[in-house]
Amino acid sequence: MFTLQCQSVKDIRKHSYYPAENEVLLMAATQFKVMGCLDQGNLHIVQLEETRPPFPLLQPVPTVVPQSINPISSAQPKVEAPKSVNHRSCVFDQDTKISWKFSGIEKPQVAWFFKGEPIPANNRFQVTETDDGTSTLLIRQAELADQGDYIARATNTVGEVEAKTTLNIVCMKPVINTDLNAAIEVTKGEIMTLKIVVSGAPKPIVIWMRDNRELTFNDRIQVTTPTGDDNTYTLTILNVQSEDQGEYAAKISNIVCPLRGNSINIHPNARWQQNGLTVAGGNGKGNGIHQLSYPLGLYVDDDQTIYVADWSNHRIVEWKSGATSGQVVAGENGQGNADHQLSHPIDVIVDKERDSVIICDGSNRRVVRWPRQNGTRGETIVANIGCVGLTMDENASLYVVDERKHEVKRYRRGESQGTVIAGGNGYGNRLDQLSCPQYVFVDRDHSVYVSDCSNHRVMKWEEGAKQGIIVAGNQGQGNSLTQLSNPYGIIVDQLGTVYVADCWNHRIMRWFKGATKGSVIVGGNGRGEQSNQLNEPVGLSFDPHGNLYVVDCRNRRIQKFNIE
């Protein structure tokens, strides 16, 4: 027999079959210890006392007090996070993900927005959903333009809720991993090679110097820039001569800037020599490697290498500084629409990051990318477009002029449809219209400048604007200093000064910011082929020194006007 001393029993007399008995119920897992034993003949008595276990075996269930429930609030979407706002950072050109988890009795649908606009699904922006309600936005190869607020908006039939992530794009300053040799001796006639390994994001640009002067590259002095994951920059000098002696340095920067001139600061009083030097073509009409036939678009690289859209020869030609003939880098496989052919190319730019040229393939109504080194065929990146001019900003967004639709479109990396950012309201002369636009320039604020050819004016469209601002011309077609006649190539420097190829007036004009009239800086001496004359100038570019390059279309040559 057991005698128990308990503290946690339950009285069950009201539920017992023997109500007269003082029955109690021991809780499961109650523990006891033996306090004593007594033997009385056939009776063995054990005395037990309840003890507290070293850890709880059963937790008591609290009494739940019913509360009023709002069915609407419980059904609304909810952000499953302590806060619905956060911040994150990503290194330039790296992939990043933004995730938010939502819940609701009716599963919500999630949409993503950037700067208030829906994010289109493309190769760079991808959204994935999981069964637990998590929505993830993947951004591939993050650009500076991707910096800002991203909103994930969850919606069901009851309501909606938002979560915000502010994304910061981090650039990495250039880091020299392997520096130049302190000293090197090379015998005359041998080959000298200098290498430097530099990393950074964006990928740095290296400018080679000798005795504090930037080197001019030619067939003997050559540079190699890295591609992909390689970070090695190489300077090679063939057949070393005594004049190559000196102190060599590499100027390194990854401060990105738009193409075609905005990286230079031209003094307001700058003047150019009035007699131009022919640096490409000028040998009559023909398809020889030393000739051009109605050249149009122009790009000048940092090393003064020239890329020309040779319209009538259906090719892109590269002319090294000081060379007497060019080298075909795209096309010259006959006129056609195959991927190894071009048909009347109109404009060309260089994408240094991908070591390729991007071409307005006019008659084929497409924009193609062609490898700059040993490329045999191109890749169509924009199709079915009346492309006549193009440029690229520091984020690798492409800006394309569609002459037939009288508009300019921007294509962010990976996009195939593009967004109209200027014009697009039909042919006309209102401030929200363009008429046969030709060339485009984008500045560091992402304002777009367009040569509005048939309206004889240059327009500026600030980012997000619904209409443009007149910055040159618009006084009717004419040859006074307040007028333009079919403007084509345009450049804008850091001060906002506009340089424009005034095609049918055979001159290049400069319009200061806010001015109502311009001034002639080269040409303007009538149509002709003398060194101080132009015959329908079209393309326009500067080199890093401020020297001016002009496509002299009807004279089938590229003219260089040195800055004084």
Sheet with strand 519-523: strands edge to edge: 487-492, 498-502, 507-511, 519-523
Q: Are 457 and 473 in contact (CB under 8 A)?
A: yes
pLDDT at position 319: 94
pLDDT at position 136: 95
pLDDT at position 158: 87
pLDDT at position 257: 45
Look at the alpha carbons of 200, 320, 180, 210 in this order and tell me if their dihedral is positive or negative: negative
Q: Where are the beta strands (DSSP E) in 362-432?
A: 366-371, 379-383, 387-392, 398-402, 407-411, 419-423
pLDDT at position 314: 96
Burial (CB count <10 Å: 0-12, 13-18, 19+), residue 425: middle
pTM of the predicted structure, to 2 decimals:
0.59
10-55, pLDDT tens digit by residue? 777 677 666 656 677 777 777 877 766 766 566 667 777 777 776 6
- DSSP letter for 527, please: B
Q: Are 549 and 510 in contact (CB under 8 A)?
A: no
pLDDT at position 260: 56
Q: CA-to-CA distance for 226 and 197, rounded, in angstroms?
A: 9
DSSP 3-state of 273: coil
pLDDT at position 63: 46
As annotated, the residues of the chain forming the CATH 2.120.10.30 domain(s) are: 277-561
Task: Say which CATH class 78-170 falls into.
Answer: mainly beta
Helix (H) or strand (E) holding 287: none
- Helices then strands, each counted (H, E), the chain: 1, 45
- In the CATH scheme, what architecture does the domain 277-561 have? 6 Propeller (2.120)
Low-confidence ranges of the chain (pLDDT < 70): 1, 3, 5, 7, 13, 16-22, 35-36, 38-44, 54-74, 254-265
Q: Tokens standing for 453?
A: 């050819």
Task: Say which CATH class 175-253 falls into.
Answer: mainly beta
DSSP 3-state of 64: coil
pLDDT at position 289: 94
461-493, pLDDT tens digit by residue? 999 999 999 999 999 999 999 999 999 999 998
pLDDT, averaged across the chain: 87
Q: With helix as H, strand as E and coil as C, how does 416-443 read? A: CCCEEEEECCCECCCCCCECCEEEEEEC
- Looking at residue 448, its amino acid is V
As annotated, the residues of the chain forming the CATH 2.60.40.10 domain(s) are: 78-170, 175-253
pLDDT at position 254: 67
